[in-house]
Structure 1
Amino acid sequence: MDDGRQTVWAFVGEGGRWPSAIFTTKRLAEEWISARGLTGMLTEYRIDDPVYEWAVANGHFQPSRPEHSTADFIGRFTTAHQAHEHYEDGAAG
């Protein structure tokens, strides 16, 4: 997502439903993850640019069924096209 827009990095621990931490840089996030030996996923999010709209605008997702436009679907939408990294016991992998 490196197009000059401001981003944050959110860490969700394995089995978690919500982020346990938000960071302004990937480096800070990785230092925290490593220091605590955490397992989970770190994902980059653009500020003021919802993931659903970003994915549609960039051709990463094409709504093809009526449910793809529902509040429930959009509210839970994620995409593997976001920059992300998996960690196990504090190490990227």
Structure 2
Amino acid sequence: MRPGFASAVFSSFDLAQAWIQKNFVCGILTEYPLDQSCYDWAKQYGHFKDKSPIDRAPIFIANFVSAYQKTWHFEHGELLQPMDA
């Protein structure tokens, strides 16, 4: 089951990992830009270019995530893959 909302927000990977391990959480930890939307971040760094009106629609922007955001997968509190540099 994948929830629609994040269950926690942390200022560092180490704090997030400690909470995940303490609670034996399963799921994906995603790095988000601070004080900026994923949509604006991806556009700013050239990871996304809007090509049609749907790419600028509020529903698209509100649900936007980028494959360029770092992610880590955890199962029962354990990191399943090494952290990328």
The residue aligned with 2:44 is 57
TM-score with structure 1 setting the length: 0.79
Q: Which runs of 5+ in 2 are unaligned?
A: 81-85
What SS class does the counterpart of residue 32 from structure 2 fall into?
Answer: strand
Distance 2:40 2:22 in 1: 35
TM-score with structure 2 setting the length: 0.85
Aligned positions of 1:27-46 closer than 5 A: 27-46=14-33
The residue aligned with 2:5 is 18
Q: Structure 1: which amino acid aligns with 2:73?
A: H
Q: Which runs of 4+ in 1 moved over 4 A?
A: none
> Deviation string for 1:6-46 (max 9, x for gaps)?
xxxxxxxx511101111111101101111211111111122
What SS class does the counterpart of residue 31 from structure 1 fall into?
Answer: helix
Distance 1:39 1:66 in 2: 36
1:72 aligns with 2:42: no
Higher strand content, 1 or 2: 1
Distance 2:70 2:2 in 1: 20
Identity within the alignment, %: 35
Aligned length: 80
Distance 1:64 1:91 in 2: 39
